[in-house]
Amino acid sequence: SLWTVLSGLNGQVMESIPSTSMVKKPQEVLSLSCKGSGFRFDKAGMHWIRQPVGKTLEWIGAIWFDASKTVYADSFQGRVEITRDNNNSFVYLKLSDLKPEDSALYYCAASQWFMLVAQRSVTPFVAHSNQDLFSQTVHLCGSSPEQNSIQCYLYSPVFTTIAIRWASTQTRKHWSS
C-alpha cells in the first residue's frame, strides 16, 4: 500500500492526489499525482524517484519544465510515463504492468522541494537543505542500509545531471556512488 506524507521547504509544497492508501494487483496500473504550490511550477524540472522496501533510492525518470522532453531509467522503459500540467501545477506518474517489486516509497522532486509518498507507518527518509554537507543543496536524503551514512539525490540547477552521493554522518565527507 502507498500512503502520502506532505512536506515542504520554505513554503514550497507538493500535495498528493489522492492521499489515501493504494493497493494494486500485479499487471495493474499505478497512477500518482503531485500538485505543487509556493513556487514557479512551470520553471521546474520534475523527477520521480522510489525506494523499494529494504533497498536504496531508485531514479524512475524526469520531465523537462516545459514538458518538451522526458527521460526514463532503462529498467522502466516501456511501462512508465511521466506527464505534467503546468496550468494547474500537476505532475503525474503512470507505471503499468505492475510487479510485486514495484511496492516502494515514491517521491516526486524538483529544485528546492520534495514530496514523499510512503507507507504510513514507515517514513525512513527525511529531507535536508544543508549547504555545508555538499557543494549544492541536498534534495532527497535518507539513512543508508549501513546506518552510518546517508544517501542523497542531487540535481543540477538545470536538471541535466542526477547524482547519487553517500556521506558519512560522522566525518561529513562525501563521495559519489
Domain CATH number, residue 26 = 2.60.40.10
Secondary structure element (H or E) that encloses residue 146, with its range: none
Highest mean pLDDT among 21-25, 106-110, 169-173: 106-110
Residue 171 makes CB contacts below 8 A (sequence gap 6+) with none
Q: How many domains does the chain have?
A: 1
Contact 120, 3 (CB under 8 A): yes
Cα(134)–Cα(81) distance, rounded to whole angstroms? 31
Closest CA to 137 of 45, 9, 35: 9
Which pLDDT score is estimated for 152? 54
Q: Which domain holds residue 66?
A: 3-176
Whole-angstrom Cα distance, residue 139 to residue 127?
Answer: 7
For residue range 34-84, list pLDDT tens digits in order: 887 777 788 777 878 777 777 777 778 888 888 988 888 888 999 999 999
Task: Please tell me which residue, 96 or 116, carries the higher pLDDT value.
Answer: 96
Pairing type for strands 58-63 and 3-5 reads: unpaired
Kindly report the number of other CB atoms within 10 A of residue 24's CB atom. Answer: 15
How do residues 77-109 score in pLDDT, each as one tens digit?
999 999 999 999 998 999 999 988 888 878 777
82: closest CA among 57, 56, 110? 110
Residue with grid cell 529498467, as numbered in its chain: 75
